[in-house]
Amino acid sequence: DVARLAPTCRTPGTSTVVRSQHAAMASNDDILGARTDSYRMAVLSGSAASSSSPLGNGNGAAANGSGPGYLEVEAKYDGSKPGAEAAEAEPEPKKKGMFGCCGSNKKDEDRKAQLENLKKELVMTEHRDELSALEERYGTSVTKGLTDEQAAKRRAEEGKNQLSPPKTTPEIIKFLLQMFGGFSTLLWVGSILCFIAYGIQLSQAEEGDQVARDNLYLGVVLAAVVVITGFFSYYQEGKADNIMKSFAKLTPPMCKCRRNGELRIVEAWELVRGDIVEVKFGDRVPADLRLLEVTNVKVDNSSLTGEAEPQKRSVECTDDNPIETQNLAFFSTNVVEGQGVGMVVACGDNTVMGRIAGLASGVDSGETPIAREIEHFIHIITAVAVTLGVVFFVLALILKYEPIDAVVFLIGIIVANVPEGLLATVTVCLTLTAKRMAAKNCLVKNLEAVETLGSTSTICSDKTGTLTQNRMTVAHVCYNGKIEATNTDPKIKDEPFNTDTPEFRDLFLLGTLCNKAIFLPDQADVEILNRKTIGDASESAILKFTEANSNLFKSEAKDSKSSRTEAEREAYPKVAEIPFNSTNKYQVSVHQKESGQYFLAMKGAPERIVTRCSHISRNGAVEEMTDADRQAFEDNNAELGRKGERVLGFCTLDLPVDEFPPGFAFEAQPPNFPLENLVYVGLMAMIDPPRTAVPGAVEKCRSAGIKVIMVTGDHPITAEAIAKQVGIIHAEKTVQMLAEERGCAVEDVDPADAHAIVIRGAQLIDMKSEELDDILANHKEIVFARTSPQQKLVIVEGCQRANQVVAVTGDGVNDSPALKKADIGVAMGIAGSDVSKQAADMILLDDNFASIVVGVEEGRLIFDNLKKSIAYTLSSNIPEIAPFLFFILASVPLPLGTVTILCIDLGTDMIPAISLAYERPELDIMQRKPRDPVRDHLVNSKLIGFSYLQIGMLQASAGFFVYFTIYADFGWNGSDLFGLRRDWDDPTVNDLEDSFGQQWTYDQRKVLEFTGHTAYFVAIVVVQWADLLICKTRKLSIFQQGMWNHNLTFAIFFETGLAAILCYAPGTDAALNMQPLLFRHWLPALPFSFMIFCYDEFRKYQVRKSETNFFYVETYY
């Protein structure tokens, strides 16, 4: 097998993968390290006949589903000659084997090696081998098939014809990941530290002493926040990984198979290699088949290659590439026309689709950008918390505190830095954005994918169904020597050219009559271009075109539900027909006019049509065809071909009445009517046209700094044409375009001059990673055509190596590995396969690429708004931490209690922080370049500096000002509070004197302390009004942005109302240690609130003014 493939791998150092059917002749050890014709071979997967081989697993079950007698071998060409020297060469290391491993590390290596193997292009020989060789290899007969005994034995050795399900993550593990992953970990640590602190306090208390339960309450609340948020996230994202279940749906339940010389209906999983299977129109291919007999067979390979048009099958090998050859039919593709017989050459995991399934279930995109940002944020908060905690732990020891008390202080400071409400805020913000995106036709399956789309810097888009409408449509007509563009928008009724000309009417009539396609019933209310039809793609396109312009018909439909095109056909009865075949490449029919005269109508390949024509229809008259006419035809045909369109030519001939009188007996085989000296009428060109909104969406991506790359399985010419129409190839030129422009050969153009490129899949096969990286880095406009599923995956990995955040769109099964590997996979909701939807993170409900741009804008917006929410939330950390530090350092009565902090973080701050998720985008959101995932973090030093050192300090100042005001109002001067803590907190001291000599009992002091807590809490609420307003924008003035976010306006009233309820509602004094305040105690914080607002307006003005000044460089977060 390797020797037969020698021409495909003749560069020293390069390798190819060969799937060998001859493994039964040798053990793995025989093959491993063997050399033939300068090739060194190594087993990649499968196992040979010898189960005793060290590489075999002894039970015939291979790692990738293949079994004994079925090997994939890597053949590496080193240019040396076989012989003694070769025999002495060291064999390839056995670590490349997929089994025979020891330990978990070896298993991981094996899984990785299997995945790398699946990424390689499969080279197989079955489509080129002689039929007799295949019969001998499989011990089968084309006429009789296998015997039951042969089939049973082979099935026992190789397994069933079904895809092997991968290991799935148990639901409990998924739940625990939600409960303990990411930000939840920080809250759990905080909760545990609270319980430890409470335990220390409890252990140090003497019998009868009352221990403050603040740390206990805080620990319980933190744990509750994590559990509730974890349940919520699991509910939002909880779904089984059903990718392989979706693949399983591709397997037909039953099929026709020849066994023991008779035709049987068997279950598809029973098939083995060598079985002879019959398929017909409407069947799903049950395994990879080498076709032996075909009768007008066409298969729908769109799920495999992305080609919109059904592909013709034959018994001849037409291409070395197994995907391109016509004598193979692949597992799970549909037979849309004809019938045939094939030999099973691959089953289950070893089919082309099985390899795709293996890739789709094996690849992993890793962490999402937002998950990485949350982790980065945790690192920052942890560093800040631990640093502050250690510093003040040391200070507490210096200030002669007991070590146990210092430890409690350390824990308290660390916990105080934990933003308890932020996890819930982030989760709810992402959920709200996901709902908003769903309303705009973007259904998000994974909450974190909401932001990922906003971080996207490269979109690898499939062509068929995403950029295009996924239906063949007549895009151009050519008559009178002129090309006219037709209307391809279903919402527009009229054509953009004059249809009331004799030549167009002649062409229109021929398109109507040379057509067998019909509409499915009961579609009168459906737009014509969206109606379903019976017939091949080209004829269906012409049918829709003629029906859309049915006002040109003379005939009327039978009723409102009938087609006028079909009524027009009945007006010209067909009396004879020669069907299309691959040899003639034309279809011809004879029709009778109302007058009784017969005329001939022919449709076919343009070059075949024009050679049969001696005359041309011009300006309503028939004239002799000149050389200039033929040249005009060649030019028009070439121009339409360059547009990537499928072109059909039309010609006609009025048959003389004297030779063909009414009632003439026409014969099709052989024809007794003329097929030469016909009259050329014109051309119709069809293509799957771009969606109308796509060019604008691509342009918007370009202005947003996002590179759009087309990755399609379709033909390069078609791919390039669509890329130009939608703007993927826009400002730059390819080498071919430059050569045409300069009038020179392609070889004479310096590739460095071309910044646009179209790359075929065949070129990717031998391309090294470095070469691909160079192309991706140095070409602004890129199209990959005729790519395989493995190559799509390699392209995505290439983009990710360049630190790009990659979004991949696709609708077919072939797209699933790339969808899974991408940072965000985007599947099509209407035309997308179940497999692609399961592999994706997001589904476009309208299948429109333009919806992705809406999603990008929403993703960028949520990233901006999360920044604002975090800035808002963190700014209250300093006024929450500072009282505790002041309590330790100055030994004053505690300015703010733990329970009060919870009222802020989980009460008054929560709704305002969430309301920022509704904030409208600032003006430049889609004019910015994508954020750099390495440098542009969700939380950076500038945001920490802004929230902690600027706004946070002002808020803490407001809190302390109110704190000292409260104590002064009740007789305690500020200077007298310093050093008072020990006596203040001593329950045995009931005669402590204030600054005016009044005595205070312990209970009275605690009421005043809790009043101070309440006043400090209210001060934070008041300054948070200003903080919420300034966090509406990062750059614009609030007067530019406006107050259109009514949720935010509601949030201001909500937090104020909640603060009032906590202050004055009965029972809050006992439950939350809150005390009612005098109205005047709400007022001292107002100047600080106004100061915050004015400062930030000035800061934003400086930020807008210049990108080089101090305020932009140091404070624009």
- Coil, strand or helix at 340: strand
* DSSP string for 1051-1079: HHHHHHHHHHHHHHSTTHHHHH------G
Q: Count other Cβ atoms within 10 Å, centred on residue 87.
A: 10
Residues 6+ apart with CB under 8 A from 553: 512, 564, 565, 567, 568
Q: Residue ranges of the alpha helices (H) in 440-536?
A: 449-455, 502-513
Q: Which of 300, 462, 834, 841 is catalytic?
A: 462
Q: Are 347 and 272 in contact (CB under 8 A)?
A: yes
DSSP state of 100: S
Q: Are 1081 and 965 in contact (CB under 8 A)?
A: yes
Beta strands 824-828; 806-810: pairing state: parallel
Residues 6+ apart with CB under 8 A from 955: 875, 876, 878, 879, 1019, 1020, 1023, 1024, 1027, 1088, 1092
Residues 6+ apart with CB under 8 A from 105: none
The C-alpha atoms of residue 1074 and residue 192 are separated, in whole angstroms, by 26
DSSP state of 27: -
* DSSP string for 283-324: PBP-SEEEEEEEEEEEEE-HHHH--SS-EE--SS---SSTTT
Q: Are 335 and 298 in contact (CB under 8 A)?
A: yes
The values of phi and psi at residue 18, to 5°, are -120, 130
The C-alpha atoms of residue 740 and residue 748 are separated, in whole angstroms, by 11
The C-alpha atoms of residue 45 and residue 18 are separated, in whole angstroms, by 11
Would you state the structure tokens that stand for residue 630, as one six-digit string? Answer: 């033929």
In 3D space, the residue among 428, 424, 427, 421 whose CA is nearest the CA of residue 905 turns out to be 421
The set of long-range contacts for 1061-1068, using a CB threshold of 8 Å and a minimum separation of 24, is 1062/903, 1062/907, 1062/1014, 1062/1017, 1063/1014, 1063/1018
Residues 6+ apart with CB under 8 A from 326: 291, 311, 312, 313, 314, 316, 317, 318, 319
In 3D space, the residue among 1032, 1005, 1045 whose CA is nearest the CA of residue 1093 turns out to be 1032
Q: Are 750 and 739 in contact (CB under 8 A)?
A: no
The C-alpha atoms of residue 785 and residue 762 are separated, in whole angstroms, by 9
Q: Is 462 a catalytic residue?
A: yes
The C-alpha atoms of residue 954 and residue 949 are separated, in whole angstroms, by 8
Residues in the chain, overall count: 1117
Provide the CB-side half-sphere exposure for 1040 (13 A, CA): 14
Active site amino acids: 462
